[in-house]
Structure 1
Amino acid sequence: MLGISTTAAKKLIGHALELRHRLPRLWAQVHAGRVPAWRARLVAETTIHNVPALTPEAAGWIDAQVAAVAGKVGTAQLDRLVAEAIKRHDLSVAPRPDFEAGEDHEDFEADQYLNHDARHVTFDTSHVHYDGVMRMDAELDLADAYDLDAAIAHGAATLKALGSSAPLGARRAAALGDLARTQTALDLRTQGVSVAPDDDGLPAAREVVLHVHLDADTVGEDTVFGPTARLENGQRLALLDQVSAWCASSRTKVTIRPVLDLNAELTTDTYVVPDRLREQVVQRDRTCVFPWCTRPARACDLDHIEPYDHHAAAEGRPQPGPTATSNLAPLCRGHHRLKTHTAWRYEHLRPGAFEWISPHGHHYLRDRDGTAALDPPPPDLPRPRRP
């Protein structure tokens, strides 16, 4: 009813519980209108997922500090408050089960806290710029970070020496991409793996797997494609010139796969979905088709909208839930279980469009443009009043 995904709704309820029971001063200030809800949720998100876990007393101390400044704390200040709470309340990770007498318990706890591995490399696929760039965030081992910085600096200097007029930031970004395509540890990457060699006998350094949707018109005997394409990864638009440039890069392996007609009706007599039928449904629906869910279809189960009857053939009855294009839809595991074990129901209206009915009788249309509630708002819904 709020128009948000299941995951976002679970997080909303988690934040509300954290504020109501462990951060009551901040909760009261939200209700009084002195602290915006989004600020309070940032604090709750931090106190919920802290390592080591915060006790009610530690959370209460943070609550008192944040409430004193009406929630106006930044991320760095909040981190300092959490660190102070951990120190004040002597928090640590629980000792290991095999802790033996005579071992230094305090040293072990300190080691456990320090050994929390925060390294990561994260690509922000939800915000891809229109000109085809993506943000990356990383935390590396100190030695790895210095080595990577030196390698990027060398690559950027090399590009400049070769005549590149791009600014330093762009050359450093290009150098990082070159590192991703450089086989500097060939023996480790190919040990025990059969690879297809390139012209010089080395394996391809890059494989581009693009599922591209194109608008095409027939002009005479020729097929003319539009100037833009939609990529499956990230559901983003790309220029055909960009796709051509990616595929033309040196040491890139390009694979052409069969074209699928997303409007054709494919069917099979078996319960197991064959690869071609699965690929067609994935390309048609793009994401989980539950209202407001955005999980990519490639990571979803394929659900039989009308359940498949495994005994129909043996008993001479027609199959009520065939394995066919019009009876399949991608559902992520959680929403697949929701459909199977609860009163949620849906039906296939047309290619890529589904109507869902909730256990409370609300109707939702889910198609390629997103989700829309089909129910009119309640006539007695109170109107907001100005103070």
Structure 2
Amino acid sequence: MTIAALPQQPPQAADEASASDLLNSATEALRARRLAEVAELELAVRWAVTNGHARDDRDPMLTPGGDGTPAMREHAIPELAMARETHPTTTRALLADGLDLVHRLPRTWAVVEAGRCEPWVARKVAVLSRALLSEQVVRVDRAVARAIAGHAPSTVLEIARAKVIEADPETHRAERERSRHERYVRLSRTDEYGYRHIIARITAGDAAWIDAMVDRVADILTTTMGHDHNHDELRSLAMGWLARPLDLLKLLVEHTDTEGSADADTDQPAQPRQPVWAPDHMADTVNRLCSLPARKLAKLRGRGRLFVHLTDDALRTGTGVARVEGVGPIDVSQLHEVLGHADVTVTPVLDLRMRRRVDAYEHPEVVKDHVWVQTGGDCFPFTPRSATRDGVDYDHAIPYDDTGPPGQTGPHNSGPLRRSHHRTKTHGGLTTRVVGPGRHLWRTPHGQAFLVDHTGTARLTDQQAIAMTEAIEDGVELYFH
């Protein structure tokens, strides 16, 4: 019996089959990721339900979601955040969005729950519609549920915004009027190269004038720096000149043609003409500036406060890294860009080996400085180290006892906490111990344990936490590798 050989699959067909498998896998991975996000939302909602009743009169309740969603214990949020290894604000947003989707946007939630759309789009709709009453949000839910599975996210969000306006036009008009009075100028976080963004909300007119002035200064800088900088770089440098009004005025005056042209008909000498950008009072203002003594001129620069940490070796060699509180690490050579021509106060380096302790409840400044330098920021688990020393409370890890032993206040028993984190520790059932310089051990009401130190936040087993607590009581710092 002869068996005919099966024809071999051509290479092109094999490639097509492989490509088809990859595409199918991509679709399956998409659905799996969406359903995983759905599961996370469901867990958050269940946590809210589990913590839907206050334990006592000192256990505050809040409603993360919009009208019609249930309340939950405020101090239950940080513990869920720790389990998720994220910040409480991020977890509160997840709770709010989950509760809104389940209770206020059920049609949209059904589409999300089936994995037929991106959960983040539905969460954005929940945020956009949160201010609406429960009976008003129905209009948004119906429209979004019809569109969210088949339209691009931008289209869905446009539909949601339109339905929010339709549902409550009076509130929209009031919000639009209120937004006219919301002005701000903010700084972004510093990137790894020491640069920041300036973000401002100003009138269109002021924005146009600032843009024109930046362009004018950039054009002037082109004559001296243009060979080494592109136009955007020069505009960035020009922004820095706006912070130095005296230097800016000098630059503009030196590079503005104030000589008028001669009158060809009368042969009269040219009359100085005032620059277009100059106000009518400029001449008087310049005269007043010229008459001011140097000390008063210096005050026109304004005052700022920055804490810069660097080693004596970096000062001596001009190389290395400096750490600027509120800015981050920068190259030492960039310090002149940060400090400019400012007057600098040099303070001595703290000797962290000293055991500074006081008997009073209040932390003296030298102890605050020691705790801050030793810890490096807010010591709450999974919290970014973006706080400043003036923006935190200095908390006693073991609560201060008026009848207790002396020396309860010091780096051995203190940690910097933002006010919200301080409240959570005090009223939320969390406990903490300082288990070494800059090392803070946290325990939650449901047995979770975390170590916060210079490496970040690490999860510990219950046995590790117990061993670390017992060791520090004997004066021993315990490390796990």
**1:262 and 2:370 correspond:** no
The change in CA–CA distance for 1:352 and 1:297 in structure 2 (over 3 A counts) is farther
- Note the residue ranges of structure 1 that are not aligned, 5 or more in a row: 94-108, 185-196, 313-317, 377-387
The residue number in structure 2 matching 1:193 is: none
After superposition, where does 1:319-358 map in structure 2 within 5 Å? 319=406, 322-358=408-444
- Structure number having the greater helix percentage: 2
- Structure number having the greater strand percentage: 1
The residue number in structure 2 matching 1:203 is: 299
**1:175 and 2:254 correspond:** no
SS class of match (1:254): coil
The residue number in structure 2 matching 1:27 is: 109
After superposition, where does 1:1-387 map in structure 2 within 5 Å? 1-48=83-130, 53-70=131-148, 72-74=151-153, 78-79=157-158, 81-86=160-165, 88-93=166-171, 110=173, 113-117=176-180, 118-125=182-189, 128-165=190-227, 166-182=229-245, 201-203=297-299, 205=301, 207=303, 209-214=305-310, 227-234=320-327, 236-247=328-339, 249=340, 251-294=341-384, 296=387, 298=389, 299-312=391-404, 318-319=405-406, 322-375=408-461
Supply the AA of the counterpart residue of 1:302. Y
SS class of match (1:42): helix
Supply the AA of the counterpart residue of 2:164. A
Q: CA deviation at 1:60?
A: 2.6
The change in CA–CA distance for 1:137 and 1:231 in structure 2 (over 3 A counts) is same
The change in CA–CA distance for 1:112 and 1:31 in structure 2 (over 3 A counts) is closer
Q: CA deviation at 1:44?
A: 1.8
TM-score w.r.t. the length of structure 2 is 0.62
The residue number in structure 1 matching 2:20 is: none
Q: CA deviation at 1:91?
A: 2.9
- Note the residue ranges of structure 2 that are not aligned, 5 or more in a row: 1-82, 250-292, 463-481
Aligned residues of 1:212 and 1:232 also touching (Cα < 8 A): yes
The change in CA–CA distance for 1:363 and 1:178 in structure 2 (over 3 A counts) is same
Q: CA deviation at 1:16?
A: 0.6
The change in CA–CA distance for 1:15 and 1:276 in structure 2 (over 3 A counts) is same
Supply the AA of the counterpart residue of 1:180. A
Q: CA deviation at 1:349?
A: 0.9
The change in CA–CA distance for 1:336 and 1:45 in structure 2 (over 3 A counts) is same
SS class of match (1:255): coil
The change in CA–CA distance for 1:368 and 1:6 in structure 2 (over 3 A counts) is same
Aligned residues of 1:214 and 1:225 also touching (Cα < 8 A): no
Percent of residue pairs bearing the same amino acid type: 31
Q: CA deviation at 1:2?
A: 0.6
In 1: Cα distance, 2:308 partner to 2:225 partner: 33
Q: CA deviation at 1:131?
A: 2.3
Aligned residues of 1:301 and 1:332 also touching (Cα < 8 A): yes
SS class of match (2:372): helix
Structure number with larger C-alpha Rg: 2
Aligned length: 331
TM-score w.r.t. the length of structure 1 is 0.75
In 2: Cα distance, 1:199 partner to 1:238 partner: 31
